[in-house]
Amino acid sequence: MYVTTLHCYHCNANYPLTHRGSCPACATTGEETALNETLGVQYDLTAIKRQLDREELARRPPGLWRYRELLPIVDPAFRIDLGAGGTRLVPLTRIPEAVAGNRLLMKVEGSNPSGSFKDRPIGVAASVALEQGARGLACLTSGNIGSAMAAIAAKADVSSLVLLLGAAGLADSGAAVNVEKYVQISAYGAEVVTPIGNLGQLYALADRVEAELGWSFMHNVQAYQTDGDKTTAFEICEQLGWRAPAAVFVPTGTGTNLFGLWQGFVLFKELGFIDTLPRMFAVQPVGAASLVAAWEAHQAIPAVLERTEPNLAPPISHRVSGYHAYKAMQESGGGAVAVSDAEMLTALKDLAAYEGIYAETASAAALAGIRRALALGLLSSEETHEGGIVGILTSSGLKNSLALSQVFSPPPKIEGTWETLRSFIESRKET
């Protein structure tokens, strides 16, 4: 057992591994604050160094549990394995920026079992919850967390409840829930409801679910979710030949995935597995870019936005982002950029049409963010040409195809003759 405590990155307090929720010294229950997700999982590095080296890791099969000493589940029986992790790191070759000589690589997280990167954080957090005795699993989500959790619950043979919102962190917004996501969650056998109430009320409801039913609410094991996100960073380093890239661009709402990735790079460096650390960049949608606003105002504790503007990236549309993400950006010398719907759509189409990768619109924000950073001169030529820039494509395009049916017109009906088809193809060539 290498896991030791939960540590608050804001006030440096330590808590036992069974502690639930946020740091009580920093965050007030029920309030939306940038200090909600400051807890991280600590490990006995000296003991790990004795047990684990790069050669041992390289011998193991790919996936989340390849890094078992660096994850908080103690009993192997609770390492629920749906095949999460082990995703491809794809060098872009055809998009114009790649042709111009930039070294751009995409981590294709949409190929995880439930179609998004959430199979990592939820794979770890749900496993911890069950190991600590939870009798069921519950979460509040715009969809991807719900799919990942419902799949785990199915495999572990426990009940699950998904409180499904139209956009992550936007209770009471009235936004319609994503059809592909509620269908997928329902197929796994979870109960799905769309609760009405503000976020504070819904978190209080979550605590009640825990108290009354003995189920674990994923938000209350957030530190373990962040810990699962580390594995993306581990894989990137291994895939680059035990090196970190120059910079990593993460589509993000509250910033938890970005913070988890940063913890992963830092841990690998502390273990001596890599020599350098990457710059961490947050990418958020215009109109829901609290980290970008905080970054520009040098405000380590990002202010809660009064409202967010509707956009094509509900999974990363939050009113509140985290101190933890700001800290990762600051420590790494990174930054934050905001991208428009049009920029995300162009990135989505380019990834698909040039590279054969179909990502969810919120994921394509990674490439849109890299483009924005290139345009703003935030990346040096050495970084873009030698060190390499990694974008995290967080989820599969199949997660929100319906929302894009307004962007791509339905196929025209034509007569099934060669003459008609030939003239159709020729007319397309002309456009």
Determine, following the binding rule CB under 5 A, whether residue 8 of this chain makes contact with Zn ion.
yes
Determine, following the binding rule CB under 5 A, whether residue 39 of this chain makes contact with Zn ion.
no
Determine, following the binding rule CB under 5 A, whether residue 26 of this chain makes contact with Zn ion.
yes
Q: Considering Cα of 207, then 213, then 214, then 217, what sign does the dihedral take?
A: negative
- Taking the complex as a whole, the smallest distance from the CB of residue 205 to Zn ion amounts, in Å, to 24
Determine, following the binding rule CB under 5 A, whether residue 23 of this chain makes contact with Zn ion.
yes
Determine, following the binding rule CB under 5 A, whether residue 223 of this chain makes contact with Zn ion.
no
DSSP 60: S
Segment near Zn ion (CB under 5 A), from 17-25, 148-156, 202-210, 325-333? 17-25
Taking a C-beta distance cutoff of 8 angstroms, is the pair 283, 252 a contact?
A: yes
Angle between helices 222-239 and 119-131 in degrees, nearest 10? 130
Segment near Zn ion (CB under 5 A), from 2-10, 49-57, 323-331, 383-391? 2-10
Read out DSSP for 363-395?
A: HHHHHHHHHHHHHHT-S-HHIIIII-EEEEE-B
Nearer to Zn ion, 111 or 330 (CB): 330
| Dist. CA 285–CA 96, nearest whole Å | 23
- Taking the complex as a whole, the smallest distance from the CB of residue 22 to Zn ion amounts, in Å, to 8
Determine, following the binding rule CB under 5 A, whether residue 28 of this chain makes contact with Zn ion.
no
Q: What is the widest separation between alpha-carbon atoms in the chain? A: 74
- Taking the complex as a whole, the smallest distance from the CB of residue 27 to Zn ion amounts, in Å, to 7
Determine, following the binding rule CB under 5 A, whether residue 181 of this chain makes contact with Zn ion.
no
- Taking the complex as a whole, the smallest distance from the CB of residue 13 to Zn ion amounts, in Å, to 5
DSSP 202: H
The correct pick among 11, 77, 99, 187 for binding Zn ion (CB under 5 A) is 11
Place of tokens 């929720």: 21
Reduced to 3 states, what is the DSSP secondary structure of residue 296?
helix
Determine, following the binding rule CB under 5 A, whether residue 25 of this chain makes contact with Zn ion.
yes
Nearer to Zn ion, 6 or 294 (CB): 6
- Taking the complex as a whole, the smallest distance from the CB of residue 8 to Zn ion amounts, in Å, to 3
- Taking the complex as a whole, the smallest distance from the CB of residue 28 to Zn ion amounts, in Å, to 12
Distances (CA, A) of 394 to 117, 347, 358, 359: 5, 14, 11, 8
**What is the spatial order of strands in the sheet that 159-164 belongs to?**
191-193, 159-164, 136-141, 216-217
Q: In this structure, which amino acid lies at residue 116?
A: S
- Helix (H) or strand (E) segment spanning residue 42: strand 39-43
- Taking the complex as a whole, the smallest distance from the CB of residue 328 to Zn ion amounts, in Å, to 16
Reduced to 3 states, what is the DSSP secondary structure of residue 248?
strand
The correct pick among 2, 3, 6, 10 for binding Zn ion (CB under 5 A) is 10
Which residues touch 33 (CB under 8 Å, ≥6 apart)? 27, 301, 304, 320
By CB under 5 A, the count of residues binding Zn ion is: 6
Determine, following the binding rule CB under 5 A, whether residue 338 of this chain makes contact with Zn ion.
no
Segment near Zn ion (CB under 5 A), from 7-15, 315-323, 393-401, 422-430? 7-15
Nearer to Zn ion, 39 or 134 (CB): 39
Nearer to Zn ion, 9 or 43 (CB): 9
- Taking the complex as a whole, the smallest distance from the CB of residue 161 to Zn ion amounts, in Å, to 29
- Taking the complex as a whole, the smallest distance from the CB of residue 25 to Zn ion amounts, in Å, to 4
Binding site for Zn ion (CB under 5 A): 8, 10-11, 23, 25-26
